[in-house]
Copies of this chain bind each other. A is one copy, B any other.
Amino acid sequence: MTEPGLIELDPSVPSPVGTLTDRLFDALQRAIVEGEMPQGSKISEPELARRHGVSRGSLREAIARLEACKLVERKPNLGARVVELSAEQLIEIFQLREALEGMAARLAAEAMSDAEIDALGALLEQHGQQIEQEQGQAYFQKQGDLDFHFRIVQGSKNRQLIELLCEDLYHLLRMYRVQFGMRSKRSRQAFEEHQYLLSALRSRDPEMAELVMRQHVRSSRRNLEQALT
C-alpha cells in the first residue's frame, strides 16, 4: 500500500541507524560501562545472541570491536570475558592521559578558534554555578569534567588524538568511574585548574597549556593513588 517512491518514517521505530553490528556494539559497550555486565563475567555467545535476538556472527563482530576498545578480553577457544579493572591499570591509564591530554592542550592552544574558546568559557561558568548550588551532585560534576576534557581534545584538531581518547579511552574511564563509584572531593580544585587552563588557551600559550593540563591530570592521579591504598 505504500507508495514505491516514498520513504516510510515511523517515529515509533527509532530509525535503525547503522548496521546491526554497530547497534549491538553500542548496546554492549553501554551495558559494560554501566556495569550491567559485571567485571570478569564470562560472555556466552549463544546466550547473548539469543537475548538480543541476533545471530552469533553479528555478535562476534561486535565483540571483536569491544576487544579493540579493551572492554573485553578474548582467549582462543575459551571465549570472551568482561575486563577486570585493577587499580594498577587505572594508574597506567592516567599516565597515558597525562601525556595525551597534555599534548592535546598544547595543540589546542594554537588550533582552537576564538568561538570555541568562548564556548568553553561559558561551559566553565555553568560548572561554577553548579558547584555553588548543589555541592552534593558530584555526578554532574564528573560528567562535566569529561565534557571539558572532551572539548580540549576536539580542539587539538588532531584526528589521531581525538579518536584514541574520545572513542576508546574515555569509555574505559567512564567504566572505572561508574564501577568504582568514584566521586572525588577535588571538584573545587579541579574547577580552578580548568580555569587556569582556559587562561592559557586564551593567551594562546601552548607551553603553559600543556603544563597546566599535565599538572591537572597528575593531581587527579595522585588523588586516586591515595584513595586506592
Contacts and interface: CB of A to CB of B under 8 A. Distances in A.
Contacts of A93: 160
Interface residues of A, number: 27
Contacts of A15: none
Contacts of A98: 103
B161 A92 contact: yes
Contacts of A99: 99-100, 102-103
A19 B100 contact: no
B65 A96 contact: no
Interface stretch (A56-64, A121-129, A178-186, A194-202): A56-64
A115 interface: no
B160 A76 contact: no
Contacts of A100: 96, 99-100
A95 B107 CA distance: 9
A229 interface: no
Contacts of A95: 103, 107, 158, 160-161
The interface residues of chain A, by DSSP majority, are classed as: helix
A5 interface: no
Nearest to A76: B19
Contacts of A50: none
Interface in A97-111: 98-100, 102-103, 107
Nearest to A74: B19
Contacts of A22: 76
A96 B156 CA distance: 12
Q: 6 shortest A-B CB distances, which residue pairs?
A: A68-B68, A99-B103, A99-B99, A92-B160, A64-B64, A92-B158
14 contacts: A19-B76, A57-B57, A61-B64, A64-B65, A65-B68, A89-B159, A89-B160, A92-B161, A95-B107, A96-B100, A96-B160, A99-B102, A99-B103, A100-B100
